[in-house]
Structure 1
Amino acid sequence: MVNIKLIYTAVLLMFVISCHTKNEQKHFLFDDTKVQKKTVKELYEYNLKELEKIMDSEHKKMNPKAIEPINFLTKISGHESSGDMTYYGVFNFSNEDLMYWKDWYTKNKDSLNYIYSSKDTLDY
């Protein structure tokens, strides 16, 4: 009889602990308040810096790391890169494009203090 009570207590304890752990994981995974959200201003600055790094590197032409920054800067500023559109996106950009995006940022940075929310259903 003692063994049955001990087993029952152990099973009950494991059940309670597993439920508690499961709730913590769910809370962590799906609570978007824990995710640090960035403003458009911060993201614009970051993407400009990424393109400056690419411009200073040896691999300026057809650099796949440029796709996302070019796409973001185009969405926000409305200025499309002069690079060729490919199946994957625009890989390259000109110095004039970079200068335009910098000038646009200088003129509009005060209006970019809002949290970025992509309207693309494929972005997470």
Structure 2
Amino acid sequence: MESLKKEASKSSPKIEFDANTSILKIEGKSYMENPAAFYEPIIYWVDEFVKISDKPVVFDINIDYLNTSSTKIFMNIFDILESYYQSGKKITINWHYDPENDFGKETGDEYQEDYELPFNVIEIKPI
């Protein structure tokens, strides 16, 4: 399976899903008008990847902002990953947030409560 990469735009996040290392990264903002169209190939990739992979997966997320539609898309991704985890495979979700952005921490905490996944909510430390 090939890796998946998409560059960020003003309203969409950068995507780096590496099929060889099983490291999935999403970074940026997600408030496009039609998130379903943007995320459809991403959801498909994740769904296909977990069907063929036995490797531990690390999902690093650093999202500054999600609109309501994007929040629902992330729930779809977490549903797929939760099924993968419940089948006995290893996964770690790392939700990174800026301490000056209340949205980031609150959203990460909500996802952590909603899913039975190894889910870390991690404050980004200033350099």
**Could you tell me the TM-score, scaled by structure 2's length?**
0.26
The answer to which structure, 1 or 2, has the higher relative contact order (CA under 8 A, 6+ apart) is 1
Q: Which has the larger radius of gyration?
A: 1
Q: Which has the higher helix share?
A: 1
**Could you tell me the TM-score, scaled by structure 1's length?**
0.27
